Amino acid sequence: MEVNARPGMVLVHPTYGKGTIIKVDTTFYTVQFPNRGNLDISKRTEGLELMEDEPEPTAEEEALSMPLVERTLRRILEEYSDIQQTVPLGERWQGGNMILEPADKALKSKEVPLEVFFHKIVMLRDRLRVLEQNINSHKKLSDEDKVDLQQYITRCYGSLTTFNVLFKNQEDYFVGDKKS
């Protein structure tokens, strides 16, 4: 059954539930579902229903938990902004360049300002921290899985200790697994 609809209307899908139509094409709708994101749905999908007026939300739909709000806000900020901790580059490196010289002299070398390279290292560290937070707060991972994944992140930090020489402050250093 083909349903004729326009963007903004609510469509009820037999499998995915209620979603808002955000785009109409000749053969499909792009529908935004609350828990699944945007999906392309064929106009000929059986069981599609169009809701003319949006009914009052149920208490369950209306309720927002603080962890959900925090996770959503954190994801939005991480995805759409470049907010990160300011970490100073060691003074002796400021204005410096990193030169990548190939063994084959026929090839051109690559010169990268150390500020640019340092910024990428700091961004990598920030993303590892976010990954670590997401693992620790994940509801479906067992404690054992969290520990296993945490160990991989610790090993990543250990692999990055070479770059500690770039940091001005020792508290910003990468620290890997401390063996006794």
How far apart CA 141 and CA 138 sit, in angstroms, is 6
Q: Where are the domains of the chain?
A: 10-53, 66-172
**How far lies 128's CA from each of 58, 90, 115, 134, in Å?**
38, 22, 20, 10
pLDDT in tens, 55-82: 555 666 556 677 777 777 777 776 655 5
160 by Cβ neighbours in 10 Å (0-12 / 13-18 / 19+) ranks as: middle
pLDDT in tens, 81-104: 555 556 777 788 888 898 999 999
pLDDT in tens, 42-59: 888 888 888 865 555 566
What is the CATH architecture assignment of 10-53? Roll (2.30)
